[in-house]
Amino acid sequence: MPKPLDNITQPLIKWFEANKRPLPWREDRDPYHVWISEIMLQQTRIEAVMRYYRRFMEALPDIESLSKVDDDKLMKLWEGLGYYSRARNLKKAAQTITDEYNGIFPSRYSEIITLSGIGEYTAGAIASICFDEKVTAVDGNVLRVISRITGSRKNVLLPETKKDIAKKLQAILPDESGKFNEALMELGEIVCLPNGAPDCAHCPLRENCTACQKDLTAEIPVRVKQLKRKREDKTVFLITDSEGRIAIEKRPDSGLLSGMYQLPNISGYYSIEELYSKLNEWNLSPADIRHHKDAKHVFTHIDWFMRAYRVTAAAPNSRFVWVTLEELNAAYSLPTAFKKLL
């Protein structure tokens, strides 16, 4: 009796050739283009990435320009995409390619995966799509598609499930491995959807799909989260001087949102009297403090609960960078969490 994954490669590739979307990084097989798009697409939908990708490519069209870009400019280009360590790793990897590979993107999976910020999936995608290496590229879309085809109820959030699916796919990879990998991802993006009912009527693999045949698409894939979220309370200051300039400061070079700018803030909630005392410690001589607004921002494993205060500073000091709103929007990378408070 044939197994669910038997004979899926050619129907899937044929479907992909007829239905693939005309995405800018598909215009050629340049590894730089594929690399940047794949890193941007981590944790972000294609629809949201398009304008960021085009802007990034206009500013940094090649590996050399990325390796030399000023950190603040890089953060500004990445602003809005989140997970800013991705951008820092891009620059670090570009510097490695420049120093160790004469500026030429390495062509083997074993080399690609050693670059900063590149894991098994991204290395597999670049190696197969750009260099025809027969390796798998298993992302969330692929996990969902293969789980439904095989009827697997294994938790797709576990590393061992990903390894098992990669092993199954490696056994059936065709010579057109890059096209096959892209086809699986495309199927997950536009047909075998993560939220809501999949479009099984237009799926080229519906006859092979256990979940479709047994009406289990609402139950598969199985996703069981095991991490508990952390809550952090923050008091944030929207400080302006007599000229209307806003106080910002640079975050540390490591940790969450490292290297970006932020509105001054402290951990916890405080009384107005305590806030006056804190601002005096910063030599700001606050003329007025008023509650501004509250906001919440959700990170991967942390929720920030922010209470913001407007502060008029009679005597601005050199502790902070003082910028107009126009300057802030044009030249400084401010995380979305703080933009909510402006």
Catalytic residues, by residue number, are 38
Cis omega (within 30 of 0) for bond into 221: yes
3-state helix, strand, coil in the chain (%, to 5): 45, 15, 40
Q: Which of 161, 164, 112, 162 has the alpha carbon at shortest distance from 133? A: 112
Q: Tell me how far CA of residue 277 lies from CA of 36, 269, 270, 271, 289, in angstroms.
A: 46, 14, 10, 10, 11
Rounded Cα distance between 328 and 288, Å, is 23
Q: Which of 184, 89, 250 has the alpha carbon at shortest distance from 74? A: 89
Phi, psi angles (nearest 5°) of residue 253: -80, -5
Is 285 exposed, middle or buried, given 0-12, 13-18 or 19+ CB atoms closer than 10 A? Answer: middle
- Report the relative pairing of strands 302-313 and 230-240 from DSSP bridges: parallel
Half-sphere exposure of 229 (CA within 13 A, CB side): 11
